[in-house]
Every structure is written in C-alpha cells, then in structure tokens.
Amino acid sequence: MKCPFCSYVDSKVVDSRPADEGNSIRRRRECLSCGRRFTTYETMESLPLIIIKKDGRRQTFDRQKLLAGMLRACEKRPISINVLEDACTEIEQTLQNTLAREVASVTVGELVMEKLRDIDEVAYVRFASVYRQFKDINTFRDELNKLLEEK
C-alpha cells in the first residue's frame, strides 16, 4: 500500500479489525520509510446483480425498490420494518447465492411473495394482486382459495 504522506510503496500492518458490521476490514498501517501511520479499508468486490424485466430491459438490483414494494403491500398492517428489512436481506442473499449475474424479475417477485406469505397473508394477497395483475374477482378468489388450501 502506497503511503499517502511520502508515496513510499511499502508499509506494514499494525492492527486489523472488522468494520462496517463485518463487511470490511479496517487496517492501521505504518509506512516503512517515514514511519507515519494511516488507515485503509478492505472490502470485498462484488459484481452488480442485474434484473431482467418482463419487457427485456435490464437494470441493477435495487434493495430500496424491493423494500418499498414490500412496504406498500404491508401498509396499515402490524408488521415491523425490521421484519421486512430481514426479509429483503434474505431475498438479496438468495439471489446472490445463485451465482447468476442476471436474474429474471419473475424470480424476484416469486421470492417476495414467498416471504410475504410467511409474514402476513393480507400483505401477500395485496402484493400478489398487483404482481400477478389480477384481472377480476375470480382470479382474486382463486388465489385466496390456494392460500386457504395450504393451511
């Protein structure tokens, strides 16, 4: 690591500790030339996850957009934001674990519905009605019947 003070190219690590909730490592370094200390942060390089929309467009995965959709489905329901954030984290982790750099939006939608079904049935039906574009009351009833049969 190059010293920010004298530009010498060699330094030694004096101290290392986790930072950013374990997502990076903070290192205190000492320049072997001038003896001054400085801090560096080491993070894992991650490739962006690309979502392929139904119309073929591609966009990067946006956790905030995912959370906003779940929040909309859970409006006026007794569901903690922490529960939804945990669900978002689990969905994101599932997508990252597929090791695919591109994922269909349908896959993301199905994962969201799976999580919402476990969290709150009303939120699940709300999300499903928008996501699956229910055309009439019969498709709504069919989804409710499937939900009741699972119980």
pLDDT of residue 47: 76
Lowest-pLDDT range of 34-48, 80-94, 100-114: 34-48
pLDDT of residue 79: 96
Lowest-pLDDT range of 1-10, 17-26, 74-83: 17-26
pLDDT of residue 37: 97
| Pair type for strands 102-104 and 50-52 | parallel
Residues 23 and 14 sit within 8 Å (Cβ to Cβ): no
* C-alpha–C-alpha distance, residues 84 and 115, integer Å: 9
Q: Model confidence over 100-136: pLDDT tens digits?
A: 899 999 999 999 999 999 999 999 989 988 887 777 7
Q: What is the mean pLDDT of residues 57-79?
A: 95
The confidence band for 91, taking pLDDT boundaries of 50, 70 and 90, is very high
pLDDT score of 77 more than 80: yes
Q: What is the mean pLDDT of residues 29-56?
A: 92
Determine the Cα angle at 86 with ends 85 and 89, to 5°.
90
Residues 24 and 36 sit within 8 Å (Cβ to Cβ): no
pTM of the model: 0.66
pLDDT of residue 97: 87
